[in-house]
Amino acid sequence: MLIIGNWKAYIESTTKAKALFASAKRLSAKGVHEVVVAPAYPYIGMGAGIKGLILGAQDVSETTGGAQTGEVAAGQLADLGVSYVIAGHSERRARGETDEVVTEKVRHIFAHGMVPVLCVGERERDSDAQYLKEVRQQISVVMEALSQKERLQVVLAYEPVWAIGKTGADAITAGDLAEMVLYIRKILGDYIPGRATTKVKILYGGSVDAENIRMLASGTGVEGFLVGRASADVAAFSGLVKALS
């Protein structure tokens, strides 16, 4: 499984960052799961010096860099050895990031040889299933802009906004997650021929912890997890990775 820890802005200490890097590296070295850490920008350079650590980034600029005060360009992340870059996280979308901006980000990520982790997910579930349209739109706008080869390389993180940042009990149920994974594969089928849709990795994110991760992994069709809050604590993160094994 692919497990990506999104530290968000939880970490404010280099000592803590070092401990989390060391733990993620040990977990990945076991060879059972691919464990990635996505620190806030200030800690990426620190992680870049650690051999064997798989680095991610939480975001990237939609610009090509240059005269862009405050932005971090894809080329800079690639130069530091970042492998995965999150694009379209709901906490960025909530600040006005549109599907078109997310698409630009994905293009820059690919242009620099990194893998985009495209976050999609409805804000809430309504009884007339409008939320399905919301997810379809988020996926379609990006897929339409990509080549066939790129479409297969995108990692899709399904993260229902209503389940993010809460406690484990608020995560989605296994049944609802399984349905959503099938629905996402159906959408992918509009852009990728036949069985090839199964090549696209689908992750789940939203209040994942050591207690619920096995339930979320069994029979749901997900191939990994995007973890927020629990990834900012050594015991909680290693506990959930170990619970999967």
- The site for ligand PEP (CB under 6 A) is made up of 6, 159, 164-165, 205-208, 226-230
Mapping DSSP onto H, E and C, the string for 19-72 reads HHHHHHHHHHHCCCCEEEEECCHHHHHHHHCCCCCEEEECCCCCCCCCCCCCCC
What minimum distance in Å lies between the beta carbon of 168 and ligand PEP?
Answer: 9
What minimum distance in Å lies between the beta carbon of 194 and ligand PEP?
Answer: 31
Q: Which of 91, 134, 159, 211 is catalytic?
A: 159
Query: Is residue 220 classed exposed, middle or buried when 0-12, 13-18 and 19+ CB atoms within 10 A define those classes?
Result: buried
C-alpha span between 1 and 241 (Å, rounded):
9
Query: Is residue 221 classed exposed, middle or buried when 0-12, 13-18 and 19+ CB atoms within 10 A define those classes?
Result: middle
Whichever of 161 and 187 has its CB closer to ligand PEP, that residue is: 161
Q: Which of 142, 145, 117 is nearest to 228 (CA)?
A: 117
Which residue is nearest to ligand PEP, using beta carbons?
228
Q: List 227's β-bridge partners, or say none.
A: 5
For residue 173, the tally of other CB atoms under 10 A from its CB is 12
Whichever of 82 and 117 has its CB closer to ligand PEP, that residue is: 117
Question: Nearest 5°: CA angle at 225, between 91 and 85?
Answer: 55
What minimum distance in Å lies between the beta carbon of 208 and ligand PEP?
Answer: 5
What minimum distance in Å lies between the beta carbon of 230 and ligand PEP?
Answer: 6
159 is catalytic: yes
Q: Which amino acid would we find at residue 159? A: E
Q: Which of 62, 89, 91, 122 is catalytic?
A: 89
What minimum distance in Å lies between the beta carbon of 122 and ligand PEP?
Answer: 14
Whichever of 165 and 221 has its CB closer to ligand PEP, that residue is: 165
Q: Are 193 and 126 in contact (CB under 8 A)?
A: no
Whichever of 23 and 207 has its CB closer to ligand PEP, that residue is: 207
C-alpha span between 121 and 117 (Å, rounded):
13
Whichever of 12 and 79 has its CB closer to ligand PEP, that residue is: 12
Active site residues: 89, 159
